[in-house]
Structure formats: structure tokens, C-alpha cells
Amino acid sequence: MPPKRSNLTTMYRAGQLRGEMMPVERRLWANLRNHQIDGIGFRRQHAIGIFIVDFCAPRQKLVIELDGGQHLEQQEYDLQRTAFLESQGYRVLRFWNNDVMQDVRGVITAIQIALRDTSNR
């Protein structure tokens, strides 16, 4: 049996967060769900280790994080989090919330490019 990707507490919290989506998360999720981007399956509020990522394409090992203004004060934490995810084989894309709200098509294009890059590895 493969090792679990996270612990029960983190997975439980991820489930709670799925019920509390922010408007920016809803906007991006409307474009990611149901394999809309190149037939790729995404999950939202996905637990990996002790962290919960905003969106993840597990088979492609791609994580998408949405950052609001609070991330300006937690840059060191975000760097550590990204380093852990990368050590687990994930590629991490970060987008500012206002980019998603003002130019969701541009964000989707960036995700598509990253997926193509990931599949060429």
C-alpha cells in the first residue's frame, strides 16, 4: 500500500475548506473543474503533507496557489511551503487574486502552458 499523502487532520481541514470557497477560488474553479483544461483533472483544497493547496492536478504534479495581500507578509512561509511541495515532485504556480478576477483567461493560458511544460519533462 502506498504511503498516505497527508494526515487525517489535514485532510479533514481540506474538506472543510472545500465548503468555504472564496469568490476568487470559485472563479478559477469554474474554469478548472470537470476536466475543462486539456482533459486534466484538478482537485480543490487538496492536502499534501501538512499543507493544503488551493488547486492540484495530481497526475501532472501541478499545484496552483492563489495569493491575496496577506502573502506579502508571509513570503518566507510561502517559500518554505513551495520548497516542500517541490521536494515532493510538484511544480507550483502562483497567481495573485486580482489576476484571476481581472484576467482569468490569461491565468488559464498560463496554466495550459505549464501543463504542456510538465508533460514534456
List per-residue pLDDT tens for the chain, 121 residues long.
555 677 777 776 777 777 788 999 999 999 999 999 999 999 999 999 889 999 999 999 999 999 986 645 678 888 999 999 999 999 999 999 999 999 999 999 999 999 998 765 5
Q: Which three cell numbers stand for residue 7?
A: 494526515
Q: Within a domain: residue 29?
A: yes
Residues with Cβ within 8 Å of 18's Cβ and at least 6 positions away in sequence, in order, are 44, 45
Q: Within a domain: residue 1?
A: no
CATH number, domain containing residue 12? 3.40.960.10
Q: Within a domain: residue 2?
A: no
User: What is the residue range of 64's domain?
Assistant: 8-119
Domain count, the chain: 1
Any idea what DSSP says for residue 3? P
Give helix 23-32 / helix 104-119 axis angle, nearest 10°: 50
pTM: predicted TM-score of the whole model, two decimal places: 0.85
Q: Within a domain: residue 56?
A: yes
Give kind and range of the element (H or E) at residue 95: strand 91-96
